[in-house]
Chain A
């Protein structure tokens, strides 16, 4: 029974091919608010199921989760549409939550922070993607270059949010990565190496997204940057994320 429920949880902490439910649903939804809710709630359901079961995560699920993380990270390398990129990288990162849960019987109240630490930067990127769509009609890399010069504030925000997503130190995603690494490195070097490879791919995918949006000669489209007030709100949320990340890193053991 518990194994069936674990597989059900594999819908929410995505395991390929169950992961296709999330990516399909996310990309089908056109509404920004629904997408936001999905990003925040989806992994929490999985975490809730797993913590309610209170069982040790079997080794085969750990391997499955790592393969899913690598697969979706790898597939995100060539994605140019921001929404699709979010859904693939979210799938890749959320799969790692299986490793965060690991062998410890952690409660949902503890685990939810890891889930939120992963989800909040995606929500921010979704909103920033919305800013791009409202200005250019689409959030798409390579379509309009040189955002760094045209929209410096928005560009800064995109850069920091992508860094928060790809498990850059000081952000919660990095503490989650380290926690996952601590949970599996003792059992298998190969698994630890696979996780490190997933981390490597996230970095590559993130850098490609940043380059596709920000680099190049400025497009000749008259657009207005995000207001200073809005930028401060984003910055404040990112500041909170850093604070949470630092606290979570302090708790690594």
Chain B
């Protein structure tokens, strides 16, 4: 196992070095070299994961006394399969996609280095290696995003990414130093063992070290996973090559979820950090989704979609569903990678002919044509509200009966219920020949998705956190006072139901004060279309800083 984890990191690194040193003599062969290396690395990752399934022990190998510790554990092996799998697909795709670009060999070299950095990051067993790998991912991404050196726009947004990532890097470095000071070691396993044995023993300026470190790690995760206020780089980095977008959205941006899982023993000892994760994740998920809906550029819409998904992933961590966040990031990585790699074909197809099928779904959603004859409202409302919740409860009850005692599970069930109800509610107005057949199909699909989701996430839970007591501790760390929890659930339900009622009445044009609401709605749309002016604010701030720097230089006579 030790040899496998060394091979895992060194193979892409070696491929990258060879690609750089012999790029001229290799020519187009650099792509071949990169793909072969990726295939072997993927096989190594699979072998590592298989070993993890067959034996219940983890292993670590230290390349140096102080740092260079590589971990082979369930989390690193699972992430390694995801990273190597996606980077293999991206490489194969790039072989033809990038063929006409200058710097063909450089592109594959950078992909190799990115894979090596990502694998080093997930396999890091000590704080220094983690900081090094974490930082290198940002640096290599900067060069990948600015691959087209003729394009100042691509370069500008690559710089945005680098600057945002540096904010996260700063937080991670500070967290690493605090942990070292408290526990006197860089080794993650030793630190976690000490934290688990003696929680709350060390303090930093009156705050428990776990709390301070948890906050810093959360900030690092927010920057890497494009959470609100640190998200502006994500939708704007579309001038980079499509394979890079695919790799970034499928793999790199997920690093926040990984980091939180890696430091799970720290987060379970925190008091307020999990709530911060929940709130930030929730707000990001909502804002990201709202911004996605207003985009007319497919790649930018995908960018904001990623932001929303990352918000959901962080929110899952905030409710204590750590392993679910890993499952989410894998699922999201796979589908978002596919979307990016096929975005070019879709755009090309749309340019040839609109290709939009005149189906029921299209006429309902895009043309907003609703059914003239509808089923009894009460029956449909009953189905809408009852069916999703029954399916969700049944699925979770089948898998883990104590699930409902966890607040985090209730929150996720709640969101699942809302989503299911929303879907069913819409079919009520859809113009289809056989509405009952459609409802039946939706319920069947919903049950299948939920059951699959619950089963897989439970499997992830057991695989990543085999200790059931620790699993309960994670949920307990996300726990809030029952009274306030109930208040929040009732409040959220009331807002959502009010939204449904508002929609219903506005569509019936029976709304009192409809004109004012319409104006309010247009103002909101204008705000959203300007992306809440955050991008403008950051651009203005950046210009102001540069102006201040220039003035200072003049004042000090360039000395």
Identify the A interface with B (CB < 8 A). Answer: 20, 23-24, 27, 71, 74-75, 77-79, 84, 146, 148-149, 159, 163, 168-170, 174, 178, 181-182, 185-186, 189, 192-193, 196-197, 199-200, 203-204, 207-208, 211, 214-218, 249-253
Within the complex, the shortest CB–CB distance from B67 to chain A, in Å, comes to: 6
Contact A75/B146 with A169-B135, A199-B170 known, Cβ cut-off 8 Å: no
| 15 extra A-B contacts, CB within 8 A, seeds A75-B549, A193-B170 | A74-B545, A75-B553, A78-B546, A146-B149, A163-B139, A168-B136, A169-B136, A178-B131, A181-B177, A182-B180, A200-B167, A207-B162, A211-B152, A211-B156, A252-B128
Report whether A20 and B177 are in contact in the complex, using a CB–CB cutoff of 8 Å: no
* Residues in chain B near residue A203, CB distance under 8 A: 162-163, 166
Bound complex: CA A79 to CA B186 (Å):
38
Whether a CB of chain A sits under 8 angstroms from the CB of B173 is yes
Contact A149/B149 with A182-B177, A200-B167 known, Cβ cut-off 8 Å: yes
Report whether B553 and A185 are in contact in the complex, using a CB–CB cutoff of 8 Å: no
Bound complex: CA A168 to CA B559 (Å):
26
Report whether A185 and B558 are in contact in the complex, using a CB–CB cutoff of 8 Å: no
Count chain A CB atoms within 10 A of each CB in B68, B149, B159 and give the residue with the most. Answer: B149
Contact A192/B174 with A77-B545, A168-B139, A216-B152 known, Cβ cut-off 8 Å: yes
- B residues 157-192 near A (Cβ < 8 Å) are 159, 162-163, 166-167, 169-170, 173-174, 177-178, 180-181, 186
Bound complex: CA A251 to CA B142 (Å):
29
Within the complex, the shortest CB–CB distance from A95 to chain B, in Å, comes to: 15
Contact among B67, B146, B159, B545 with A250 in the assembled complex (CB-CB below 8 Å)? B67
Contact among B64, B155, B178, B204 with A211 in the assembled complex (CB-CB below 8 Å)? B155
Bound complex: CA A217 to CA B153 (Å):
12
Per-residue 0/1 for B63-107: is the Cβ within 8 Å of any A Cβ (1 yes, 0 no)?
011111000000000000000000000000000000000100000
Whether a CB of chain A sits under 8 angstroms from the CB of B509 is no
Report whether A215 and B155 are in contact in the complex, using a CB–CB cutoff of 8 Å: yes
Report whether A208 and B149 are in contact in the complex, using a CB–CB cutoff of 8 Å: no
Within the complex, the shortest CB–CB distance from A227 to chain B, in Å, comes to: 14
Report whether A208 and B549 are in contact in the complex, using a CB–CB cutoff of 8 Å: no
Contact A148/B149 with A192-B174, A199-B170 known, Cβ cut-off 8 Å: yes
Report whether A215 and B166 are in contact in the complex, using a CB–CB cutoff of 8 Å: no
Bound complex: CA A21 to CA B170 (Å):
31
Report whether A216 and B559 are in contact in the complex, using a CB–CB cutoff of 8 Å: no
Bound complex: CA A159 to CA B149 (Å):
13
Within the complex, the shortest CB–CB distance from A174 to chain B, in Å, comes to: 8
Q: List 11 A-B contacts (CB under 8 A).
A: A71-B552, A77-B545, A77-B549, A163-B139, A168-B136, A178-B128, A200-B167, A216-B152, A249-B132, A250-B67, A253-B66
Bound complex: CA A197 to CA B166 (Å):
9
Report whether B152 and A215 are in contact in the complex, using a CB–CB cutoff of 8 Å: yes
Interface range on chain B: under 10, 10 to 19, 20 to 34, or 35 or more? 35 or more
Whether a CB of chain A sits under 8 angstroms from the CB of B498 is no
* Residues in chain A near residue B482, CB distance under 8 A: none
* Residues in chain B near residue A196, CB distance under 8 A: 170, 173-174
* Residues in chain B near residue A250, CB distance under 8 A: 64-68
Whether a CB of chain A sits under 8 angstroms from the CB of B378 is no
Within the complex, the shortest CB–CB distance from A191 to chain B, in Å, comes to: 11
Bound complex: CA A23 to CA B549 (Å):
17
* Residues in chain B near residue A185, CB distance under 8 A: 174, 177-178, 181
Bound complex: CA A204 to CA B143 (Å):
14
A193 nearest in chain B by CB position? B174
Per-residue 0/1 for B372-392: is the Cβ within 8 Å of any A Cβ (1 yes, 0 no)?
000000000000000000000
A24 nearest in chain B by CB position? B559
Contact among A75, A77, A169, A200 with B556 in the assembled complex (CB-CB below 8 Å)? A75
Within the complex, the shortest CB–CB distance from A171 to chain B, in Å, comes to: 11
Bound complex: CA A181 to CA B170 (Å):
11
* Residues in chain A near residue B102, CB distance under 8 A: 149
Report whether B152 and A182 are in contact in the complex, using a CB–CB cutoff of 8 Å: no
* Residues in chain A near residue B181, CB distance under 8 A: 182, 185-186
Report whether A74 and B177 are in contact in the complex, using a CB–CB cutoff of 8 Å: no
Report whether A181 and B546 are in contact in the complex, using a CB–CB cutoff of 8 Å: no
Contact A252/B149 with A189-B204, A192-B174 known, Cβ cut-off 8 Å: no
Bound complex: CA A252 to CA B65 (Å):
10
Contact among A24, A168, A207, A249 with B128 in the assembled complex (CB-CB below 8 Å)? A249
Report whether A252 and B67 are in contact in the complex, using a CB–CB cutoff of 8 Å: yes
* Residues in chain A near residue B545, CB distance under 8 A: 74, 77
* Residues in chain B near residue A249, CB distance under 8 A: 66-67, 128, 132
Contact A75/B552 with A20-B559, A181-B173 known, Cβ cut-off 8 Å: yes
* Residues in chain B near residue A20, CB distance under 8 A: 556, 559
Whether a CB of chain A sits under 8 angstroms from the CB of B150 is yes
Bound complex: CA A181 to CA B556 (Å):
29
Within the complex, the shortest CB–CB distance from A152 to chain B, in Å, comes to: 8
Within the complex, the shortest CB–CB distance from B554 to chain A, in Å, comes to: 10
Whether a CB of chain A sits under 8 angstroms from the CB of B205 is yes
Within the complex, the shortest CB–CB distance from B162 to chain A, in Å, comes to: 6
Within the complex, the shortest CB–CB distance from B211 to chain A, in Å, comes to: 13
* Residues in chain B near residue A192, CB distance under 8 A: 174, 177
B151 nearest in chain A by CB position? A215
Count chain A CB atoms within 10 A of each CB in B156, B162, B167, B174 and give the residue with the most. Answer: B174
Report whether A251 and B66 are in contact in the complex, using a CB–CB cutoff of 8 Å: yes
Within the complex, the shortest CB–CB distance from A230 to chain B, in Å, comes to: 16
Whether a CB of chain A sits under 8 angstroms from the CB of B438 is no
Whether a CB of chain A sits under 8 angstroms from the CB of B550 is yes
Report whether B163 and A204 are in contact in the complex, using a CB–CB cutoff of 8 Å: yes
Bound complex: CA A159 to CA B139 (Å):
11
